[in-house]
C-alpha cells in the first residue's frame, strides 16, 4: 500500500527537506541580526528566501494530499470491484442468509474505511521513518553532540512504543470489537422500539441503554488509560529532549564557544524530530479501522467460490426443448455443516414434467433447487440434463435455460418493467405486458401511479409480498426458459389470489420441466408428481 501512496510520500519528503532548510534560514536570520548586529535591509534576503522555501513546502503539502486521495480512489475502486466479483463467484448458497448485512457493510462502508487508512495512516507511518532520519542527519551535520540526546531518546521512544504499543494494540482491537458490538446493540434496541412499546417496556430500554453505554465507557477508559500513558511518555520524551537540547546547547555555547546560529538551528529542528511520531499516534485510529476493514475483506475473499462469476452476456449451448433432468446419487454438505444436506438423492424429472417436492424444513428441498440453479454443485453424484452433466456446462449458459421464482423475491430499485426485464433485458414493452398478464399482475400494476413505469424498491413504492411474488412470476414468464424452479410460490397469497396465481403458474409451467417446492396443498396439486423428501433422501413419490 505504501507503493500506491509513493507520490504522496515523496511530496511529504520534499516538505520535510523544506522544513529543515527553513529552520536553518530562520537561525541564520536571527544570528545575523542578534550576533552580527545587521539591520533589516541586510537580513531581508534571508527572510525572502524563507518565504520562498515556504511556498515550495506548502505546494509539496498540496501535492501530497491530492496524490494520496488519488491513490485511495484507485485502490478502493479496485478492491470493491474485486470483492463484488468474488461475491458472485461465492454465490448465494456460499454466502448464507444471516450474513447479508455484514457482507453488504463491508462492500459499502468497509471499503470506504480504507480511505483514511490510505490517505492518513500509511503516509504518517512512512513519514515516521523518513522524517526523523532526515532531521537527524541535519542535526548530526550541524552539531554531532546533540545527536547523542536524540540517539538516546529516539530509540527509547520507538522501543517504548513497540512494547506499550503491542499491549495497547490488543486492547484497542478489543475496544473496536466492543464499539461495533455497542453500535449493534443500540441498533437492535431502536429496531425493537415498537416491540418494547407494545410490552410497555421502553423505559427499561432507555435504562438498559444508559447502563450498557456507561459500563462500556468505563471499561474503555481503563483501556485508554494505557494508550494515554503511551502518549504521556511520548510527549514527555519530546519535551524533555527539547529542554535538554536547549540546556546543553547553552552550556556548550559558554564552555566551548558553540556558535549561536548553530545552537538555535538545532533547537528549532529538535521538535521536528519528534513531530512525525506524534502525527502517527494521531492517525492510529485510521490505521486500526483500516486494518479491521482489510481483515473483513480478506475474510470474504477467503470464502470458497461455488460457481464462476458471469459479467455480461455469455454465449453457450442452451436447451431449446424442455430437458429430462436426473439427479443420481447426489450427496451435498454445506461448508460449515456437520451433516449432509442431501444423502445420496436419486430423483428424475421427465421432459416437460412438473415435480413437487414436499417435506419438513431441513429435508433438503432448497438444496435440490440450488443444485438445479447451480448455486451449488454436488459433492458426490451427478445432476444431468438430457444426459449432460451440469458441471460440464458453463453455469451462466445453463442458467439461461432456467427460470426461477424464489420464495421471497428481491425487488430491485427501478421501475416495475425493469424488474420484469430481469428475465430478458431486451424484451419489448408488449412482451413485458404479456408476462405481467400471465402473472395476473396487470390489475395491481395498472393501479400504480405510473403503471409499469412506477419506481419500486428501497426508495420507491413498497410492494406487498403477493405483488412481489407475481412480479417474480412475470420475470420467469419473460425468461421463457425450458426449465423452471419455483420455491413455494403461493406462500404470501390469500385464498382468492392463490387461485389466480395457481392458474398463472399452471400456464407458466406448461411444456416446461419444472421443480416446485411446495408447503401448501394447492401448490402440490398442480404437479404431475409429488416427491417427499426426508433427511436428504426421497422417501415417497406419487400423484
Partner 1 sequence: MSAGEGPPVLRRMIAVFGRLRWWVVLAGLLSALTLGAGIGLMSMAGYLISRSAIVDATEGLTLAIVGVRFFAITRAVARYLERYVGHLGTFRMLTRARVWFFAGIEPLAPAALAEERSGDLLTRIVDDVETLQDLPLRVMAPPIAAALAAAVGSVVLGALDPALAVVLVVFLLLCGVVLPLATRRSSTALTDALAADRALTNATSVEGVSALADLVAYGREDLFVDRLAELTERRRTTERRLARVRATNVALSVLLAGLAVVAALALGVALLADGRIEGVMLAVVPLAVIATFEGVAPLAASFEHVDRTRAAAGRLLDLVDRPPAVAEPPAGAELPVPSGEGRVELDGVRFRYRPEGDDVLAGATFTIPAGAQVAVAGPSGAGKSTIAALLLRFWQPQAGMIRLDGVDLAAMGSEAARATVAVVAQHDHLFDTTVRDNLRLGDADCDDDHLWSVLAAVALDDVVRAMPGGLDARVGEDAGRLSGGERQRLMIARALLAEAPVLVLDEATAHLDPATEQRVVEGITAWRAGRTTVHVAHHPPVSFSPDLVLEVRDGQVLERA
User: Within positions 444 to 483, which residues make up the interface with partner 1, using CB under 8 A?
Assistant: 457-459, 464-466, 475, 479
488: left (phi over 0), alpha (psi -120 to 50) or beta: left
If one asks whether residue 152 binds partner 1 (CB under 8 A), the answer comes out as no
Residues ≥6 apart with Cβ < 8 Å to 1: 75, 117, 118, 122
Do 353 and 359 touch, CB atoms closer than 8 A? no
The Cα–Cα gap between 24 and 438 comes to 84
The Cα–Cα gap between 476 and 375 comes to 17
- Give the total residue count for the chain: 543
Q: Which is nearer to partner 1, 63 or 328 (CB)?
A: 63
DSSP 3-state of 329: strand
Q: Which is nearer to partner 1, 148 or 243 (CB)?
A: 243
Beta carbon of residue 305, minimum distance to partner 1 (angstroms, whole number)? 12
* Interface positions, 482-511, toward partner 1 (CB under 8 A): 491-497
Instruction: Please select the residue that binds partner 1; options are 136, 178, 202, 455, rule is CB under 8 A.
Output: 202
In angstroms, what CA-CA distances link 114 with 109, 248, 426?
9, 45, 38
If one asks whether residue 145 binds partner 1 (CB under 8 A), the answer comes out as no
If one asks whether residue 319 binds partner 1 (CB under 8 A), the answer comes out as no
Beta carbon of residue 101, minimum distance to partner 1 (angstroms, whole number)? 7
Beta carbon of residue 12, minimum distance to partner 1 (angstroms, whole number)? 11
Span between the terminal Cα atoms of the chain, in Å: 63
If one asks whether residue 296 binds partner 1 (CB under 8 A), the answer comes out as no
Q: Which is nearer to partner 1, 35 or 539 (CB)?
A: 35
* Interface positions, 170-189, toward partner 1 (CB under 8 A): 183-189
The Cα–Cα gap between 200 and 177 comes to 32
If one asks whether residue 539 binds partner 1 (CB under 8 A), the answer comes out as no
Helix (H) or strand (E) holding 404: strand 402-405
Q: Select from 121-129, 148-156, 320-328, 418-426 the region that touches partner 1 (CB under 8 A).
A: 418-426
In this structure, the dihedral spanned by the alpha carbons of residues 396, 380, 363 and 350, taken in order and rounded to 10 degrees, is 60
If one asks whether residue 156 binds partner 1 (CB under 8 A), the answer comes out as no
* Interface positions, 221-260, toward partner 1 (CB under 8 A): 221, 224-225, 228-229, 231-232, 235-236, 239-240, 242-243, 245-247, 249-251, 253-254, 260
Beta carbon of residue 329, minimum distance to partner 1 (angstroms, whole number)? 25
If one asks whether residue 423 binds partner 1 (CB under 8 A), the answer comes out as yes
Q: Which is nearer to partner 1, 255 or 387 (CB)?
A: 255
CA-based nearest residue to 400, from 471, 311, 480, 305: 480
Output the nine-digit C-alpha cell for 501. 396465481
Beta carbon of residue 521, minimum distance to partner 1 (angstroms, whole number)? 9
Do 514 and 534 touch, CB atoms closer than 8 A? no
Q: Which is nearer to partner 1, 314 or 329 (CB)?
A: 314
Amino acid at each position: 500500500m505504501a507503493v500506491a501512496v509513493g507520490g504522496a510520500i515523496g511530496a511529504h519528503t520534499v516538505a520535510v527537506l523544506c522544513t529543515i532548510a527553513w529552520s536553518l534560514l530562520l537561525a541564520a536570520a536571527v544570528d545575523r541580526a542578534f550576533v552580527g548586529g545587521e539591520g533589516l535591509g541586510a537580513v531581508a534576503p534571508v527572510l525572502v528566501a524563507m518565504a520562498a522555501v515556504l511556498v515550495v513546502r506548502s505546494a509539496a503539502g498540496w501535492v501530497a494530499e491530492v496524490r494520496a486521495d488519488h491513490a485511495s480512489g484507485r485502490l478502493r475502486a479496485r478492491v470493491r470491484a474485486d470483492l463484488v466479483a468474488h461475491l458472485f463467484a461465492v454465490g448465494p448458497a456460499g454466502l448464507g442468509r444471516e450474513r447479508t448485512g455484514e457482507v453488504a457493510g463491508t462492500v459499502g462502508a468497509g471499503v470506504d474505511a480504507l480511505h483514511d487508512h490510505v490517505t492518513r495512516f500509511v503516509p504518517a507511518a512512512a513519514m515516521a521513518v523518513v522524517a526523523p532520519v532526515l532531521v537527524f542527519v541535519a542535526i548530526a551535520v550541524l552539531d554531532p553532540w546533540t545527536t547523542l540526546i536524540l540517539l538516546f531518546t529516539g530509540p527509547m521512544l520507538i522501543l517504548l512504543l513497540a512494547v506499550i504499543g503491542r499491549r495497547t494494540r490488543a486492547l484497542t482491537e478489543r475496544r473496536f470489537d466492543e464499539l461495533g458490538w455497542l453500535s449493534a446493540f443500540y441498533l437492535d434496541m431502536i429496531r425493537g422500539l415498537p416491540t418494547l412499546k407494545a410490552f410497555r417496556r421502553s423505559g427499561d430500554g432507555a435504562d438498559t441503554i444508559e447502563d450498557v453505554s456507561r459500563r462500556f465507557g468505563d471499561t474503555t477508559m481503563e483501556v485508554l488509560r494505557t494508550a494515554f500513558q503511551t502518549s504521556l511518555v511520548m510527549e514527555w520524551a519530546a519535551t524533555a529532549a527539547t529542554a535538554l537540547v536547549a540546556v546543553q546547547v547553552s552550556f556548550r555555547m559558554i564552555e566551548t564557544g558553540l556558535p549561536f546560529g548553530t545552537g538555535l538551528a538545532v533547537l528549532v529542528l529538535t521538535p521536528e524530530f519528534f513531530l512525525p511520531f506524534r502525527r502517527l499516534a494521531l492517525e492510529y485510529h485510521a490505521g486500526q479501522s483500516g486494518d479491521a476493514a482489510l481483515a473483513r475483506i480478506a475474510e470474504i475473499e477467503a470464502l470458497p467460490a461455488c460457481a464462476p462469476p458471469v459479467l455480461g452476456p455469455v454465449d453457450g449451448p442452451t436447451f431449446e426443448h424442455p430437458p429430462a433432468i436426473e439427479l443420481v446419487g447426489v450427496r451435498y454438505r454445506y461448508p460449515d455443516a456437520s451433516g449432509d444436506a442431501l444423502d445420496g438423492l436419486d430423483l428424475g424429472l421427465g421432459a416437460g414434467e412438473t415435480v413437487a417436492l414436499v417435506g419438513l424444513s431441513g429435508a433438503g428441498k432448497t438444496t435440490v433447487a440450488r443444485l438445479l440453479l447451480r448455486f451449488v454443485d454436488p459433492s458426490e453424484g451427478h445432476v444431468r440434463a438430457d444426459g449432460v452433466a451440469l458441471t460440464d456446462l458453463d453455469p451462466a449458459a445453463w442458467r439461461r435455460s432456467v427460470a426461477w421464482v424464489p420464495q421471497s423475491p428481491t425487488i430491485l430499485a427501478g421501475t416495475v418493467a425493469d424488474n420484469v426485464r430481469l428475465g430478458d433485458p431486451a424484451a419489448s414493452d408488449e412482451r413485458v405486458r404479456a408476462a405481467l398478464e400471465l402473472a395476473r399482475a396487470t390489475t395491481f400494476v395498472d393501479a400504480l401511479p405510473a403503471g409499469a413505469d412506477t419506481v419500486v424498491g428501497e426508495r420507491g413504492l413498497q410492494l406487498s409480498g403477493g405483488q412481489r411474488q407475481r412480479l417474480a412470476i412475470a420475470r420467469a414468464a419473460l425468461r421463457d426458459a425450458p426449465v423452471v424452479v419455483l420455491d413455494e410460490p403461493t406462500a404470501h397469497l390469500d385464498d382468492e389470489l392463490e387461485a389466480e396465481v395457481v392458474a398463472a403458474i399452471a400456464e407458466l409451467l406448461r411444456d416446461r420441466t419444472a421443480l416446485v417446492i411446495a408447503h401448501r396443498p394447492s401448490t402440490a396439486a398442480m404437479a404431475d408428481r409429488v416427491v417427499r423428501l426426508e433427511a436428504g433422501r426421497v422417501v415417497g413419490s406419487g400423484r
